[in-house]
Structure 1
Amino acid sequence: MTEDWRFLFGYTNITVNGVILLMILFNLLVHKLQQLQEAEFVKKNKRFKSLSTRKLCYRFSIQEIQRATSNFDEDLVIGEGGFGKVYKGIFNPGPTVVAIKRLQSMSKQGSVEFRTEIEMLSKFRHSHLVSLIGYCDDGYEMILVYEFMPVGTLADHLHKRVRQGDTSMLPLSWIQRLKICIGAARGLDYLHTGTSTQHRVIHRDVKTTNILLDENLAAKIGDFGLSKITPSNQASIFVSSHVKGTFGYLDPYYFLTHRLTMKSDVYAFGVVLCEVLSGRPAIDLSLDEEQRGLAGWAKRCFRDGLLDLIIDPRIKGLAFHGSLDEFVKIALQCLKNEIFRC
């Protein structure tokens, strides 16, 4: 039984670093810049009331959403999953380009998750979190309107096959991958320590498909439907319901005990780091059994000095040894867990 868990998750014990003064100053600066950006957005789009004034974001009518998406034109679909479809939308005057996520009424992400995401992204704003512009809840509709992220998700750039002539999906360089990981880490650190002195946020679904990229390849964490807010002095949240998250990224401690902690996010981020280094998904059933779970396989490669087996061929020989060594050390720290000691 223990060997099965080791195959799925690897050996883990998570270390959470404290927030340094530089990060606090950085977050204060970002907050001020976001206030200025929000004021500019409201100025250009008079019908959108300020989030800081309303506390919640703008509520769109279904007619506004239909106009922005040409009545949900399939040619405007830019993403799709178990939750529903994401459309590229345009609001006029402006024009203001947005991403519109239309949740299926019977999707896994139900009304509770819909409300959770609205409340989360209305309260917490950071340069490395996707901004929520508004929502629509007319009738049975559950629609979220986000800032448009033109370069797609981190998963797109790591795993999608590049079509000939498609320059938008060129392989990410080692420097670009580092920049994306640092940005995602800053967003996650803000959720865990920077939202307030009384509360922290556990995302609960950190993965490469939930890390979006803007035109400058700046990383922004999205999809907060499964997130939980917990008092900062509380060690963990006891979750009596089924464990939620994505297989391949689940922290084994959370999976086995149903006790959700910040370490659950850190473990998932460790899997993301392994994806970035290897260019392969968290779970790949087409591979041999010992390689199917990326976390366990990466852990073995790291410890046995077999980086050549795991590193993405697209960046092999291009990663600087100093940064590569530190990258591997951080990934190992994230993938540690108290359940399996070695």
Structure 2
Amino acid sequence: MRADRLVATLLLLQQRQQVTAAEVARELEVSERTARRDLEALSTAGVPVYSVQGRRGGWRLLGGARTDLSGLTASEARALFLVAGPASTATPAVKTALRKLVRALPEPFRAQAEAAASSVVVDPRHWGSRLPVPRTPRFLDELQEAVICGVQVRLGYVDGKGAHTERTIHPLGIVAKGSRWYLVSHTEVGRRTFRIDRVSSVQLTDVPVQRPDGFDLAESWREIADEVDRKSTPLQAHAVCAPEAVGRLRMVLGGRLEVGDATPDGRIEIVIRGYNEYALAGEIAGFVEWLEITGPQAVRDHLAVIGGALATRYS
């Protein structure tokens, strides 16, 4: 992403006052030719970047430009470091460079820029059936602004049953999961998660967020997602499986498969989560060659019925 490299190059110029193409290439992990082309592009575009010839030469920003990075605003700095966050499509090299260069920002911008880099988590797994990726939710930008600025929000919300409520929340982070966006918040009744496409109104306040001690967005989301998965798949079936089939089962079941220890006969103990006995039996019937369900008995009974039906039809 060339635009990301250009901004990162500007930050590097601000930090060091003068750089060579070789230094830019090393910091941003690109070729020296690419670094030189980017520096020339900045100058051609009207950014006050100029080259200094000679043995001690290099590239400089006109007048040093050390306080405002040629007009970089606080909101632009936050946007820059969203590029370095996990939701970005920037390359790992660009993300690493931007994180290194946060120290080049003016002090008033630094805290919010760092907050922007950790304000979003991306979880690519889907809950339920796959849905087309929706348009950006109406209030996504406002809620991200609240997370980055660390202020409470008066939130209007319509739940899954159509009931409308308003409440004051402490926004902690935003998660993109599959085809949905979610807001993770602290409320008067504890941690809550809101689907952003169901938000009906957002009013930012000037009251600081009360952030739980040690809060980490990625870790918190893992706990939330695991709890949702457990509630949607309450049944646990225990089994032993041939080692060569574990990978195939994982491809089908994903996070609903838990792999345990090896048994004396070389098979692997596993636990499979499912919605109910009938649905789970249907999912795993094709693995009968490698899999032995040890419980609950209802799953075994459904597998026996499926086996009988198959034998009757295809014998």
TM-score where L is the length of structure 1: 0.23
TM normalised by structure 2 equals 0.24
Q: Answer 1 or 2: which has greater strand percent.
A: 2
* Greater length-normalized contact order (CA 8 Å, ≥ 6 residues apart): 1
